Amino acid sequence: MDYEEQLDRAMQQKPDVEGSESRFEVPEPNVREEGNVTVYENFQDTLDRLGREEEHVLKFIQNELGTSAQIDESGRARLTGEFRQRRVEDVLDDYVDTYVTCPECGLPDTNLETEDGAERLHCEACGARSAV
């Protein structure tokens, strides 16, 4: 049996493994309305996945939604006003695009650094540094 035949046989015998499109997935925001407040139930899970400080993420959400917010004792974000889940998802996607994924290689292996008073995104995967 020559090399090509062995390769074909090996390819036929290998298991089909389906992977996800990306190894980085942000949990969908679980939001519910409570009077005139929107409660972001899994805010802490989102922070853990993003690897960013809660004040930074919360400030971005507040600015994008034009509202005030606070973190309650159980780690949920309480946003003043009524916001649908899709709107919170869009804001979260904007945050990830701006402050988490590398603009050069697209990987989420980044850190936020402050350099000369400006925030920079430093990618651990490709080494790129970019202003945000």
Backbone dihedral angles phi then psi of residue 32, each to the nearest 5 degrees: -145, 150
Question: Is the pLDDT assigned to residue 3 strictly greater than 60?
Answer: yes
- Spatial CB neighbours of 129, under 8 Å, sequence gap ≥ 6: 113, 120, 121, 122, 123
pLDDT band at residue 5, thresholds of 50, 70 and 90? confident
Question: Is the pLDDT assigned to residue 19 strictly greater than 50?
Answer: no
Question: Is the pLDDT assigned to residue 1 strictly greater than 90?
Answer: no
Higher pLDDT, 22 or 90: 90
Q: Give the fold, CATH level 3, of 27-100.
A: Defensin A-like (3.30.30)
| Domain ranges within the chain, ordered by starting residue | 27-100, 105-132
